[in-house]
Amino acid sequence: MNTPKVHIIIINFGTPDDTIECLQSIVENEYPNFQVVIVDVLNKKNSVAIIRQWISNQDSSKFHLIEAWENKGFSYANNLGIKYVLNQKESDFIWILNNDTVIDKKSITNQVGFYNTASKKEKIGFIGSKTLDYQQRDMIQTVGGMFNKWTKFPDWVGSGEKDTGQYDDVDIRVDHIQGSSMFFHRSLLKSVGLMPEDYFLYFEDTDWCVKAQRAGFVNKVCTSAVVYHKQGTSTGVKYIEDEKALKNKRYFYKNLLKFYKLHYKRYLPAAYFFLIKKWAGRLARGNYKEAKEIINVILNK
């Protein structure tokens, strides 16, 4: 019996050790019919040579490395991988996966099975995993998110809870799937298009999920697909100087407004209220640099 082909897209941005750890977990998974598309951005820390060396000791047909010499954001890099996949004769599913993750051996098998079963009853959009903390592996990071238009961002289901199986075997329908692990059938792209590139960083996954919902698809979570996430490594947040972290936060605040203007114009005052509240809080704590970034976003500077 033929198994569907799964292409896994991973972005490497100067953290080859994390990427290789992720790749190793994929190699050790039980699902046989996969190929990993690695998109390296700017070859930081000699990443390309390091990753190629690792691939040379594997079944090289399972890997395809794309070198991106421009940093145009998370979506742009993922879309390079998606475009490669769409040009392949054999491709069924795509899994957008952060490089700062490791996967459980049954994750791919269970996501394919989940889609095949669920799609018999309804139109399935994006599928999320049960994402647990990499260090504290019984702590849930997310099993999807519900977007609250009044509070500005997804309320992550299960976030910070100890995983006792409370979400297993539960039909979890969500508004938002975290971009660290987004699994979908390639046919979904006919309805939602490529990952939106006008955000650079943050909210592109939320935007994509909204488009899927509005096209009549249901976003769900496969809790039997377990992913362990370091969270922050892929964007450099854990290992960078304050100025770069500040730049990333500016992307978040700026793209929050962009997302509302595109999809929830009538709720835009709620987004501005959130920013003003955040600005006041940073000011009260003496974080003047971030407060300045927030007010610049509000004033569109």
What's the pLDDT at 149? 84
Helix (H, G, I), strand (E, B) or coil at 268: helix
Any residues with CB less than 8 A from the CB of 55 and at least 6 apart, and which? 63, 65
pLDDT in tens, the chain (301 residues): 589 999 999 999 999 999 999 999 999 999 999 999 999 999 999 999 999 999 999 999 999 999 999 999 999 999 999 999 999 999 999 999 999 999 999 999 999 999 999 999 999 999 999 999 999 999 999 999 998 888 766 688 999 999 999 999 899 999 999 999 999 999 999 999 999 998 988 999 999 999 999 999 999 999 999 999 997 544 433 333 466 688 888 999 999 999 999 999 999 999 999 999 999 999 999 999 999 999 999 998 7
Q: Which helix (H) or strand (E) holds 135?
A: none
What's the pLDDT at 235? 41
Best CATH choice for the domain 6-229 from the list 3.50.50.60, 3.20.140.10, 3.90.550.60, 3.40.50.970: 3.90.550.60
Strand partners, 146: 155
What's the pLDDT at 94? 98
DSSP per-residue codes, 106-146: THHHHHHHHHHHHTTTS-EEEEEEEEEESSSTTBEEES-EE
Strand partners, 240: none
What's the pLDDT at 153? 63
What's the pLDDT at 201? 87
What's the pLDDT at 2? 80
Distance CA 163, CA 60 (A): 36
The count of C-alpha atoms lying within 13 angstroms of the C-alpha of 20, restricted to the half-sphere facing its C-beta, is 16
Any residues with CB less than 8 A from the CB of 265 and at least 6 apart, and which? none
What's the pLDDT at 169? 87
Provide the 8-state DSSP code for 239: T
Any residues with CB less than 8 A from the CB of 229 and at least 6 apart, and which? 98, 100, 101, 131, 132, 133, 134, 141, 180, 181
Q: DSSP alpha helices (H): ranges in 28-73?
A: 47-55
What's the pLDDT at 239? 32
Six-digit token string for 170: 């539960």
Residue in 193, 199, 184, 4 with CA at minimum distance from that of residue 94: 184
